[in-house]
A and B are shown apart, each in its own frame.
Chain A
Amino acid sequence: MANEAVKYVWEGAIPLQIHLHKSDVASHPAPPPALVLAPRIGYLPLLIPLIKPYFKDSLPPGEDSIWFDYKGVPLKWYIPTGVLFDLLCAEPERPWNLTVHFRGYPSNILIPCEGEDSVKWNFVNSLKEAQYIINGNCKNVMNMSQSDQEDLWTSVMNGDLDAYTKLSPKLKMATIEDDFSRKASLSSPQSRQGVTETDVAGQVKTARIPVRLYVRSINQDFKNLEDVPEIDTWDDISYLNRPVEFLREEGKCFTLRNAIESLLPEFIGDRAQTSGEERSRDDDNTEEADGLLREMGEIKLARIQGIEMKLEIPFSWVVNNLMNPEFYLHISVLVKAPQR
């Protein structure tokens, strides 16, 4: 049985207001926008069957090649909808206004999408990669029967957590030992394998966690999220698809901050204020610390599943409760760039 947090994650949705791009409007008057509730853990192309009926009578003749943009930025269809929203809208916009295109696919920028099959392929591929990172091999995914793979994908497409929970144990995904949430993670306890490497004495050392980090870097400081400039292109975002080496040390808690800093080494030792946290400084060198604060970068915001995270939360809890169905943890980070 899945825990409460996981249920909230699966139920999370973004209200979208989808406008047909004017170059695709062949009717008069132009059709009104479509209002769609998009699952956070879903993908935009999966919404097309819901959206198309609104616009099909307005389209010019020809074949459809559907894509979306937000303020002119073509949206990468293989990124979960919730992640796109958390990343591209510093100040959350509700409903989220997107533009849909039925022609003129920008194939020099976006990889092709042939509807549900492409999205499913991307999902399974990410699942294999995540399993390789966690288990050291992806044989469980590869050995899954075709119908089980289908059913797993269908459960994700339909947002059916119960069905997913029954199927995901077949993946035998090793779980992260978690002192902070007693409930089972998405894998059942029976299939629990040690994910952490142990040395001879049995002391738990490290594990690899699949993480996709999306970083927006702003050069000047800002007080309000609405002051954050908009993104013009994906080149404004740094994307890091690399595992976090989860360190378990006796008596120490590996936090979300530790995890992010391990991927962004130039932000290590940041003592600047993040939302809701106290400023903390070393007692004996406050002046030095001031100068350092100005030069160092600062993690202003970290969002996962739409939640603005306190960075001191234990990373194991974050992973077990907030990861996506393909076992990746997607983290959107807003940073103030280090001054050089």
Chain B
Amino acid sequence: MNSGREVSDGRLTVEGFSVAARAFADKWKIHNQSFPPWSWVPLINRTLHLSNQQEEGYLSLEEILILSSLEESPEDESLNVATDCLEKEESVDHTILNQENEAHYYDFHIVYSSSYKVPVLYFRGYCSGGQPLSLDVIKKDLPSCSVSLLHESKWTFITQEEHPYLNRPWFKLHPCGTEDWIKLLSQSSISTGCQMPVDLYLVSWFSVVGQVVGLRIPLEMLN
């Protein structure tokens, strides 16, 4: 019987999502220190207090800066540590080449879909003045392998939809087929058939999904 601590059909319950989210955020903090940590945003709604025993919410990673690598811009000084590291191929840093030589900020939210019973990635980009970035501009910020992933894979495409809780347009990575490739990941990594421990669900999920938006996770997180 499913103890609730394992996922066998590639899908998550809402409680499983909360557990997986905490585990993901903890591992990220330990292994991915070049990035800020993910924070958990509870769904305590302004107008409704959703008084659930198990707290519902989503994961948030915000204000990820993507800027130009041109050394002459004085604004880069706060990130010059990262700029130096560009030489080293192994360095895991989040300074990514930006074609327009201006600061682009990105917010990422991992939200649970009760309909599809899988996590969904929402993201948006904006300039320092807050003006939203169009998808064309965002695609230019993504590493080229991400863009080709988007084009070639039938499982990943991006649409502009309203954020389920924030009443604003965000971009969403479509959840179609998530449970299928999660099952594939389970088969390859865990010896006990298709079972995947709930703790590892989001880590595995993000190892695929993150690549689409140019966020890599270190291999240590998958242990």
Which one, B116, B162, B167, contacts A132 given CB within 8 A?
B116
Which one, A78, A233, A243, contacts B114 given CB within 8 A?
A243
Asked if B49 CB lies within 8 Å of chain A CBs, one says yes
Which one, A107, A129, A133, contacts B169 given CB within 8 A?
A107
Tell me the smallest distance from the CB of A263 to a CB of chain B, in Å.
Answer: 10
Q: Is the Cβ of B115 less than 8 Å from the Cβ of A133?
A: yes
Tell me the smallest distance from the CB of A270 to a CB of chain B, in Å.
Answer: 14
Which one, B46, B49, B115, B168, contacts A129 given CB within 8 A?
B115
Alpha-carbon gap, A112 to B170, bound state (A) = 11
Asked if B77 CB lies within 8 Å of chain A CBs, one says no
Alpha-carbon gap, A112 to B52, bound state (A) = 34
Q: Is the Cβ of A210 less than 8 Å from the Cβ of B45?
A: no
Q: Is the Cβ of A340 less than 8 Å from the Cβ of B49?
A: yes
Known A111-B162, A111-B169; contact A266-B50, beta-carbon cutoff 8 A: yes
Asked if B164 CB lies within 8 Å of chain A CBs, one says yes
Q: Is the Cβ of A265 less than 8 Å from the Cβ of B167?
A: no
Known A129-B116, A133-B115, A241-B115; contact A109-B48, beta-carbon cutoff 8 A: no
Q: Is the Cβ of B115 less than 8 Å from the Cβ of A217?
A: no
Residues of A with C-beta under 8 A to B45: 238
A121 and chain B: residue at smallest CB distance: B159
Known A129-B116, A243-B115; contact A111-B47, beta-carbon cutoff 8 A: no
B51 and chain A: residue at smallest CB distance: A266
Residues of A with C-beta under 8 A to B46: 235
Residues of A with C-beta under 8 A to B51: 265-266
Asked if A239 CB lies within 8 Å of chain B CBs, one says yes
Asked if B160 CB lies within 8 Å of chain A CBs, one says yes
Q: Is the Cβ of A241 less than 8 Å from the Cβ of B167?
A: no
Residues of B with C-beta under 8 A to A265: 50-52
Q: Is the Cβ of B114 less than 8 Å from the Cβ of A217?
A: no
Known A238-B47, A264-B48; contact A109-B114, beta-carbon cutoff 8 A: no
Asked if B161 CB lies within 8 Å of chain A CBs, one says yes
Tell me the smallest distance from the CB of A114 to a CB of chain B, in Å.
Answer: 11
Q: Is the Cβ of B47 less than 8 Å from the Cβ of A236?
A: yes
Residues of B with C-beta under 8 A to A110: 169
Residues of B with C-beta under 8 A to A253: none
Alpha-carbon gap, A239 to B50, bound state (A) = 12
Known A108-B168, A109-B168, A111-B169; contact A241-B49, beta-carbon cutoff 8 A: no
Tell me the smallest distance from the CB of A139 to a CB of chain B, in Å.
Answer: 11
Which one, A107, A132, A217, A243, contacts B48 given CB within 8 A?
A217
Asked if B210 CB lies within 8 Å of chain A CBs, one says no
Q: Is the Cβ of B169 less than 8 Å from the Cβ of A132?
A: no
Residues of B with C-beta under 8 A to A216: 47
Pick from A111, A236, A239 the residue with the most CB of B within 10 Å: A111
- CB contact list, B40-75 vs A, under 8 A: 45-52
Alpha-carbon gap, A103 to B194, bound state (A) = 53
Q: Is the Cβ of B114 less than 8 Å from the Cβ of A238?
A: no
Alpha-carbon gap, A110 to B170, bound state (A) = 10
Asked if B132 CB lies within 8 Å of chain A CBs, one says yes
Residues of A with C-beta under 8 A to B165: 239
Residues of B with C-beta under 8 A to A338: 49
Q: Is the Cβ of B47 less than 8 Å from the Cβ of A237?
A: yes
- CB contact list, B169-220 vs A, under 8 A: 169
Alpha-carbon gap, A238 to B50, bound state (A) = 10
B53 and chain A: residue at smallest CB distance: A265
Q: Is the Cβ of A266 less than 8 Å from the Cβ of B49?
A: yes
Alpha-carbon gap, A238 to B165, bound state (A) = 8
Residues of B with C-beta under 8 A to A248: none
Tell me the smallest distance from the CB of B17 to a CB of chain A, in Å.
Answer: 13
Given contacts A239-B164, A266-B49, 18 further A-B contacts (CB under 8 A): A107-B132, A108-B132, A109-B168, A109-B169, A111-B160, A132-B116, A133-B115, A216-B47, A217-B47, A234-B167, A235-B47, A236-B47, A237-B47, A241-B114, A241-B115, A264-B50, A337-B48, A337-B49
The 5 A-B pairs at the shortest CB distance, nearest first, are namely: A242-B114, A217-B47, A111-B169, A234-B167, A238-B48
Can you identify 5 A-B contacts, CB atoms within 8 angstroms? A111-B160, A112-B169, A238-B48, A241-B114, A266-B51
- The residues of A with any CB-CB pair to B shorter than 8 Å are 76, 78, 107-112, 129, 132-133, 210, 215-217, 233-239, 241-243, 264-266, 335, 337-338, 340
